[in-house]
A and B are shown apart, each in its own frame.
Chain A
Amino acid sequence: MSAQVIEAQDLTKRYNGVPVVKGITFSVAQGEIFGLLGPNGAGKTTTILMMLGLTEISDGQVRVLGYDPVREPLQVKRRVGYLPDAVGFYDSLTAAENLRYTGRLIGLDAGECDEKIRSALDHVGLHDVTDRRVATFSRGMRQRLGIAEILLKDAQIAILDEPTSGLDPQATIELLEIIRNLKQRDVTVLLSSHLLDRVQSVCDRVALFSQGNIVLLGSVDELGRQVLGGTFNLDVEAEGSGLDARLKAIPGVTDVETFGPNRWRLKTDRDVRSETAATVMGAGGKLLRLAVEVPSLEMIYTRYFRDEELGGRDAA
């Protein structure tokens, strides 16, 4: 396993004595895309602010690239790019002027800065509006300008708070593509979102937050196995006789639901796509559709809490 670039240990934040982040422990490996997911008010933004040294840590500690954001905030902020929730820019300045200000704060010299700004704006698809005032920018363009700022900084870690919130589906897809590109550039990405399904496709690993705790941590597949008990749904559409019984007989299939004359949903405990295809062919049937339903985070999350609740009731 590669080096850990972010390590949080019992990280706690209290506002006026009320804990909003309750001793969370997690780590993010170099080069991965890590998602902090959970409903609004779960403590994601607070966790991010503590990692950047922008708010005090009440208890526990966090190391970012080996630096302590409390004692060495400048070292951390030099290497980490941050896209805040609903990022703002100076409306009266152009896109390039906004980035130039950041460039000077970072300490880039003028020539190098302009060169980098051009390539960063190119990369996020804003080269046409370089000299337009940010006041005219849409939400999606502002988000992309924020990512250009992270590129300008040559950040090793990009921390993106709710990068897709408020974006239309098209803009969301474009932004997720840009985030994947960050990973190609060897940037470690930590992003937060309250929309679980939007970002599940880009995340290598996720931490599911609930009321200041991390309740689940791992890759989406792992969590699926862990929470959904390793059942996959396989939708089959096929023509042929006597398929009902044959499908039930496939090893690994635990249950078969029939939806129509030629449609079934198999509950399986492993991936049985090839066996299913072979069975249909073997019976002289015609396979029309074979789709495995990927477990969604939404499903995992709701199922987890349903189980928790049931478990809680049983115990009581």
Chain B
Amino acid sequence: MQREGSPWRGLGVVTGKELADHLSSVRILVIELLVVITGFVIVLVSLQQIRNVTAEDPFLLLRVFTRSGEQLSFVFVLTLLVPLVAIGLGFDLVNSEHNQRTLSRILSQPIYRDALLFGKFLAGLATIAISLTAMWMVVLGLALYQLGVPPSGEEIARAALMLVVTIAYAGVWLALAMLCSVVFRSAATAALTALGVWLFISILWPLLSGHLVNVFVPLQAGSPDELLSGLATRQAVMRLSPGALFGEIVSVLLDPSVRSTQQSQLAAMGLALVEPGSIPGAPLPLLQSVLIVWPQIVTLIASTIVLFVIGYVVFQRQEVRA
């Protein structure tokens, strides 16, 4: 059956209102301050180290993101904190409308549910994008100031791509949090469920999947082909976690010397991947790096879409009355 009128009518209005809500919300302010301060501290520490160690690195700026200060790298902190921000932003997007009894009043205005749900998602993502961009600029500015080396265009481009990928990574978690806020009327239940999933996927799954794979597909130093296929299985299992995908993408984007997402694992075993005709260690051009992780980028975006669509279907069928 054909519905009359555009499903996106009112999308801009909803997005604008939600964005204004987020930007004036104390909760969001606290969450974001936390993230920015954490990022700031970690970058300061890693800057200390970078200046001492590698003055000759052509991609010095990018090391700021990947280099571990003491234990933690900036990217690792992002992997953990971005989901928290997204969940903190999204867990009550829809159920708060139920609980404030505003939903039926808003849906009796001439808009479809599509616009309401998508507007809320867009506003959430925009809020995260704004704060991540702010943080990114602070980090970059700090790094340039402290290192005193002018960055190359490629460095800036790679750093910018990392920012975009981080926003996409946030999208997955925002869509998950929003799905929880559609399914559960209680905001507390929604928040706990989303956090539970985050905890499992980010912390338990990497441990668990490593063990599982070791049990079922033990890695042996056999022929290179066997080794690689073993690694591939291991990776496939790991990739059920968006954090793992994000890690792979960023490690390739931020390090032009990385030629494969399996390189770091091989390196850990004291091995190197050498393709015929290539110069080992030579930096890859930007486009090559992007192509290597293109499937992972697509997977991140596709997961976001799938989670959003599930939430959309549930929301369409939901009763509006409180």
Which residues of A are at the interface with B, using a C-beta cutoff of 8 A? 45, 49, 52, 54-55, 70-75, 77-78, 80-92, 101-102, 104-107, 146, 149
Contact = CB atoms under 8 A, between A and B. Distances in A.
B110 A74 contact: yes
B225 interface: no
B104 A84 contact: yes
Main secondary structure of the interface of B (DSSP, over half): loop
B17 interface: yes
Given A73-B112, A87-B105, 9 more contacts: A54-B108, A71-B4, A73-B3, A78-B110, A84-B321, A85-B321, A90-B100, A105-B14, A149-B105
B89 to A, nearest CB: 16
Interface string B180-212: 000000000000000000000000000000000
B103 to A, nearest CB: 8
Nearest to B318: A55
A55 B5 contact: no
Interface residues of B, number: 28
Contact of B107 (A54, A80, A104): A54
Contact of B105 (A74, A84, A92): A84
A113 to B, nearest CB: 12
Contacts of A82: 104-105, 108
A72 B4 contact: yes
Interface string B285-312: 0000000000000000000000000000
Contacts of B4: 71-75
A104 B320 contact: no
Contacts of A70: 1
Contact of B109 (A84, A102, A146): A102
B1 A146 contact: no
A77 B104 contact: no
B319 interface: yes
A74 B16 CA distance: 21
Nearest to B108: A82
B232 interface: no
Contact of B102 (A45, A49, A90, A106): A90
B110 A146 contact: no
Contacts of A52: 108
Contacts of B106: 102, 105
B108 A71 contact: no
A186 to B, nearest CB: 21
B33 interface: no
A107 B101 contact: no
A130 to B, nearest CB: 19
Contacts of B9: 74
A88 B5 contact: no
B105 A146 contact: yes
A258 B40 CA distance: 92
A146 B17 CA distance: 19
B21 interface: yes
Given A73-B3, A105-B10, A86 B101 contact: yes
Given A77-B110, A107-B110, A89 B102 contact: yes
A88 B100 contact: yes
Contacts of B320: 49, 54-55
B13 A105 contact: yes
A159 to B, nearest CB: 8
Contacts of A73: 3-4, 112
A84 B101 contact: yes
Nearest to B1: A71
B111 interface: yes
A77 B109 contact: yes
A80 to B, nearest CB: 8
A74 B5 contact: yes
A55 B105 CA distance: 14
A18 to B, nearest CB: 14
B278 interface: no
A80 B108 CA distance: 8
Nearest to B12: A104
Query: Which one of A49, A88, A101 has the highest number of Cβ atoms from chain B below 10 Å of its Cβ?
Result: A88
A85 B321 CA distance: 9
B2 interface: yes
A71 B2 contact: yes
B13 A104 contact: yes
A161 to B, nearest CB: 9
B319 A106 contact: no
A215 B320 CA distance: 27
